[in-house]
A and B are shown apart, each in its own frame.
Chain A
Amino acid sequence: MSTLAIGLMYGGATLLVMFAGMPIAFALGAVATVFMIAFMPHGSVDTITQNVYEEMASITLLSIPLFILKGSAIGRSRAGLDLYGALHAWMHRVPGGLGIANVFACALFAAMAGSSPATCSAIGSAGIPEMRRRGYSGGFAAGIIASGGTLGILLPPSITMILYAVAAEQSLGRLFLAAIGPALLLVVLFAGYAMWRYRREYHAAKLAYEASGTHSELLRENKLTTRDKFALLPRVIPFVTLLTGVMIALYGGYATPSETAGLGAILALILIAVIYDVWRPRQLEPILVSTLKESTMLMFIIGMSLLYSYVMSYLHISQSTAEWIVSLHLSRWVLLAAILLMVIVLGFFLPPVSIILMTAPIILPPLRAAQFDLIWFGVVMTIVMEMGLIHPPVGLNLFVIKNIAPDIPLRDVMWGVVPFVALMIVAVLILCVFPEIATWFANLVMGV
């Protein structure tokens, strides 16, 4: 049977079992196993478990559960509320400062927790009610938090980045560093939009007040004393210290990525015990159980995705598809656009983890042939996958927002994120024109 026929059957079978609702991990493993039995030498199927174990036993991949533990410990404590409170206190005088404080709080929290839904939930549960109390429209408030939360998969220690580094065989440290510039670019774009949109809503409220005397909370002056501002700092500083300490441990050469994950998780548990008095087994239980659930689900998908890719490679499906893409002689930007479009469509249905591991063997060789920097591409691909977190039908963050602010209609939430999706597209275009935004800092720290 030709490689084309096998490849079509492989893809068709995968779509069939996945859309039938089979858990992604089992679906990938089952399709890979059936094709191993049908098309690979008899003995190869005997190594199936060894393959999965050896792929999963990578110490880099196993940093993921520990980063999840760190994120869960911080996410389920009051750290998000305190961080948000402090930023709000310090930025409330800036026009649109409340919205900007929410964007900054999301970015900082995402860097500490490494999870988009956790960031949305932690910052949004305080930020959305506060913004709405101050007269921000529901859609605008929801858009800020849903989009700010997506920074969790871009900023270090992003799990998506760890997987990309493994799949593309790139340096994880360099990839983490390369994501910082683009993340700051997104923060600036989001904050700029928040300020512009605030001014628009403020002027509309002012006109309404002058015309009909209707008073909006947007027009109310908010006064906080210097004492209020300083009172909030002691609870925030330890977490910001943890964030910087973990980065120093990683980039100062003191610890490997997995050791950084372990150190970060233990320090986060110690901090929540000392600052929030969360140390009793009953208090730690939800943190550990949620970590275990997410880790097991993710690690199974990762293990089976790697088996799936191995079979795809053994049967020459990935190589043939990559060669076919190269033979089309597309211009490099058309190639990039086509690949990113495919990532967006896959993002409708699949989590970033599966998208990376399933597509990497196919899309990376043509990109390499077109002389794209794979570190740069990893950052761009991650931003595109961030869009998947806030656009329907999956849009995980939309549902987190719906959960914490059930009275905002889903339609408003969806319209609220549209400008932010547009800003992400703008960020991708800026990165295409100025790739140094991603590569410069990584090259500076780690050498070219």
Chain B
Amino acid sequence: MSHGLPPAEAGGDGAPIPDAPAERVVAAINRVIVVLSSVALVLAGCVLTYSVVVRYFLKFSTDWQDEMSVFLIVGAVFMSAAAVQAQRDHIGIEAIVGLLPKRVNQWRMLLVDVASLAFCGYFAWKSATLLHEALVDDYHSSSTWGPPLWIPYSLMTAGMILLSVQLLLQVVADWHGREPRRPDIVV
């Protein structure tokens, strides 16, 4: 199992690799998203803390807090999926990787990335369909607060589209026999 190489080892054989403009754009988007997602996580913590405080000290009823924190966390998770993939931090079993010759391993990597792209692309398309339905049919959550569901669905769709673009960049890089730079997601 691997957690991916640390950013310092990016670049494979150590040769500097010029970033394609698309890679730079996606890396910039990922940096902004990481900041926003971090804020969303802390906000979710604050919302849940607020929920405990108002219920037990001020005796107010709480109806929107759980759902608000769900939206914040689901949004943060889906939106930052591409930034995590950029560093190949979605873990996989790499037990056989060390046993394969370099050339075979490059083909393995390409096939794995193409399969991942096919799945994530399909999921992104289905998410977009769901978002469209939620907008057209005005879907709302069944809770007492009842917020519109296009909010989390749009975050899921945007996150999966960005993840698919990230995977596409990695497939192109694999095809050209190079490992794209793994931009450090530290902002």
Residues on A facing B (Cβ under 8 Å): 17-27, 29-30, 33, 45-46, 48-50, 52-53, 56-57, 59, 62, 65-66, 69, 249, 254-255, 258-259, 261-263, 265-266, 269, 285-286, 288-289, 291-293, 295-297, 299-301, 349-351, 393-394, 396
Q: A26-B120, A53-B74, A254-B56 known; 18 other A-B pairs, CB under 8 Å?
A: A21-B94, A23-B90, A24-B90, A33-B123, A45-B126, A48-B123, A49-B127, A53-B130, A53-B153, A62-B69, A66-B44, A262-B46, A262-B52, A263-B52, A266-B45, A292-B76, A293-B89, A296-B77
- Shortest distance between the CB of A129 and any CB in chain B (Å): 23
Q: A27, B76: Cβ atoms under 8 Å? A: no
A289 to B187, CA, bound (A): 9
Provide the residues of chain B in CB contact with A261, threshold 8 Å.
45, 48
The B128-182 residues at the A interface (CB cut-off 8 A) are 129-130, 152-153, 156
Provide the residues of chain A in CB contact with B49, threshold 8 Å.
259, 262-263, 266
Provide the residues of chain A in CB contact with B130, threshold 8 Å.
49-50, 53
- Shortest distance between the CB of A45 and any CB in chain B (Å): 8
Q: B41, A59: Cβ atoms under 8 Å? A: no
- Shortest distance between the CB of B64 and any CB in chain A (Å): 13
Q: Counting CB contacts under 8 A, is B122 at the interface?
A: yes
Q: A69, B45: Cβ atoms under 8 Å? A: yes
Q: Give the residue of A26, A291, A300, A394 whose beta carbon is less than 8 angstroms from that of B115.
A: A26
Q: Give the residue of A49, A258, A269, A288 whose beta carbon is less than 8 angstroms from that of B69.
A: A258
A291 to B37, CA, bound (A): 10
Q: Counting CB contacts under 8 A, is B5 at the interface?
A: no
Q: A300, B41: Cβ atoms under 8 Å? A: no
- Shortest distance between the CB of B131 and any CB in chain A (Å): 9
Q: Give the residue of B66, B73, B90, B94 whose beta carbon is less than 8 angstroms from that of A297.
A: B90
The B3-29 residues at the A interface (CB cut-off 8 A) are none
Query: Counting chain B CB atoms within 10 Å of each CB, which of A249, A262, A299, A396 scores highest?
Result: A262
Q: Give the residue of B48, B87, B91 whose beta carbon is less than 8 angstroms from that of A262.
A: B48
Q: Give the residue of B41, B74, B92, B126 whose beta carbon is less than 8 angstroms from that of A66.
A: B41
The B109-125 residues at the A interface (CB cut-off 8 A) are 109, 111-112, 115-116, 118-120, 122-123
Q: B93, A19: Cβ atoms under 8 Å? A: yes
- Shortest distance between the CB of A115 and any CB in chain B (Å): 14
Q: A349, B95: Cβ atoms under 8 Å? A: yes
The B53-105 residues at the A interface (CB cut-off 8 A) are 56, 66, 69-70, 73-74, 76-77, 80-81, 83-85, 87, 89-97
Provide the residues of chain A in CB contact with B90, threshold 8 Å.
23-26, 297, 300
Provide the residues of chain B in CB contact with A262, threshold 8 Å.
44-49, 51-52, 69
- Shortest distance between the CB of B9 and any CB in chain A (Å): 14
A69 to B45, CA, bound (A): 9
A309 to B187, CA, bound (A): 37
A394 to B93, CA, bound (A): 9
Known: A289-B186, A349-B93. A17 touches B41 (CB 8 A): no
Q: A24, B92: Cβ atoms under 8 Å? A: yes
A25 to B118, CA, bound (A): 14
Nearest opposing residue in chain B for A34, CB measure: B119
A349 to B122, CA, bound (A): 27
Q: A20, B119: Cβ atoms under 8 Å? A: no
Query: Counting chain A CB atoms within 10 Å of each CB, which of B47, B73, B186 scores highest?
Result: B73
A24 to B84, CA, bound (A): 14
10 A-B pairs closest in CB distance: A262-B48, A23-B90, A288-B38, A30-B119, A265-B45, A262-B45, A23-B92, A26-B116, A299-B77, A49-B126
A26 to B122, CA, bound (A): 12
- Shortest distance between the CB of A94 and any CB in chain B (Å): 37
Q: B84, A293: Cβ atoms under 8 Å? A: yes
Q: Give the residue of B44, B92, B95 whose beta carbon is less than 8 angstroms from that of A393.
A: B95
A361 to B168, CA, bound (A): 35
Provide the residues of chain B in CB contact with A62, threshold 8 Å.
44, 69-70, 73-74
Q: Give the residue of A19, A48, A57, A289 whose beta carbon is less than 8 angstroms from that of B38.
A: A289
Q: A297, B84: Cβ atoms under 8 Å? A: yes
Nearest opposing residue in chain A for B66, CB measure: A59
Q: B119, A296: Cβ atoms under 8 Å? A: no
Query: Counting chain A CB atoms within 10 Å of each CB, which of B92, B108, B152 scores highest?
Result: B92
A56 to B81, CA, bound (A): 14
Mind listing 9 A-B residue pairs with CB under 8 Å? A21-B93, A27-B92, A53-B152, A57-B70, A259-B52, A262-B48, A293-B185, A295-B41, A393-B95
- Shortest distance between the CB of B73 and any CB in chain A (Å): 5
A418 to B69, CA, bound (A): 43
A259 to B45, CA, bound (A): 8
A421 to B8, CA, bound (A): 34
- Shortest distance between the CB of A379 and any CB in chain B (Å): 24
Provide the residues of chain B in CB contact with A255, threshold 8 Å.
52
Provide the residues of chain A in CB contact with B47, threshold 8 Å.
262
Q: A66, B119: Cβ atoms under 8 Å? A: no
Provide the residues of chain B in CB contact with A299, threshold 8 Å.
77
